[in-house]
Homo-oligomer: A and B are copies of this chain.
Amino acid sequence: MEIFLAEKMGFCFGVRRTVDITMKIIENKEQNVITFGPIIHNEDLTNYLKNNGVNYVTSLDEVDPKKTKKVIIRTHGAKKEVIDNLKSMGINVIDGTCPYVMRVHRIVEKLSKENYPILIIGNKDHPEIIGVIGYIINDVPYFVVKNIEEVEQLKNEGKFEKLKKIGIVTQTTEKIDKVRKIVNYLMDFIPEVRYFKTICYATDENQGAIHKLAPMVDIVIVIGGKHSSNTIKLYEIAKSYCYRTYHIQNEKDLDIGWFNYNDKVGITAGASTPDWVIANVVEKIREFSEILRKGECHEVT
């Protein structure tokens, strides 16, 4: 088998920054540090942190101010009130929010100050979006939509009637094609459509690289957390080119039955996939290749 790595994949700037902050804390052997939510969507990493004394909580109720010295805010960010509440408990808050997500916070704050209704394209249950919504002020109407169908539904329900303007932001991991469709649709009947490009460059680059790689290989392995939005997007793109595309969390999920000896194997990884996990996957596929070369395993067609 030949293995091809996507030109761009794995840790993005924002994730690397937050992981570095946390690793330093472990290195310095600091005690009583927790993270607010898993700092990135990667179980291998959160398990590693846990084993080194850095646990995560998912709500303010779980934070005991007496036992907590520092709270690290996850890469996806958090609601403004969470950060404010932690600070008012006298806790040292280390803001690990990705700077690109912080920009989205500033944009929705500004838009809502200027009384723009806001359309957020993304997953309403994702921590990034929950955080973004937490920065909307002035009770302006806002909508979170996953796709064009949901926008059309809102239109049919009359939610956009009399709307003179709308501000649009997206989850940083969104796909541009979907976003374009929605903007095109709204341009038809809302007099002012103010779109902010908040898809982050790393997402752009990782997606661009798999667009290039997937059509050239026989099988694609996408590495990343099951809840990682950007990983899921990579999977969708790869799958659109290559039927044999698999989403795995780490090398343990690999199955030799997926591979043929002559395969060209493409590999990509979500922005929250540590390099060591990628390395383990590559190593494991090399072992499979050796096994298949020796004819010790059946071929899949």
Contacts and interface: CB of A to CB of B under 8 A. Distances in A.
A202 interface: no
Contact of A195 (B176, B187, B189, B197): B187
Contacts of A179: 187
Contact of A184 (B184, B188, B193): B184
B190 A192 contact: no
A257 interface: no
Interface string A193-206: 11111000000000
A191 B199 CA distance: 10
A184 B195 contact: no
Contacts of A187: 176, 179-180, 183, 195, 197
Contacts of A191: 196-197
Contact of A196 (B180, B183, B192): B192
A190 B195 CA distance: 10
A174 to B, nearest CB: 12
A189 to B, nearest CB: 8
Contacts of A195: 187, 192-195
Give the size category of A's interface with B.
10 to 19
Contacts of A196: 191-192
A70 B196 CA distance: 46
B197 A194 contact: no
Contact of A194 (B176, B188, B190, B192): B192
Given A184-B184, A187-B195, 11 more contacts: A176-B187, A176-B188, A179-B187, A183-B183, A183-B184, A190-B197, A191-B196, A192-B195, A192-B196, A193-B195, A195-B195
Interface in A147-180: 176, 179-180
A175 to B, nearest CB: 13
A176 B195 CA distance: 17
A191 B188 CA distance: 21
Which of A187, A188, A191, A192 is most buried by chain B, counting CB atoms within 10 A of its CB? Answer: A187
A191 B196 CA distance: 6
Nearest to A189: B197
A193 B180 CA distance: 12
Contact of A197 (B176, B180, B192, B197): B192
A184 B180 contact: yes
Interface in A90-104: none
9 contacts: A176-B187, A180-B184, A184-B184, A187-B195, A188-B197, A189-B197, A193-B195, A193-B197, A195-B195
A183 B190 CA distance: 15
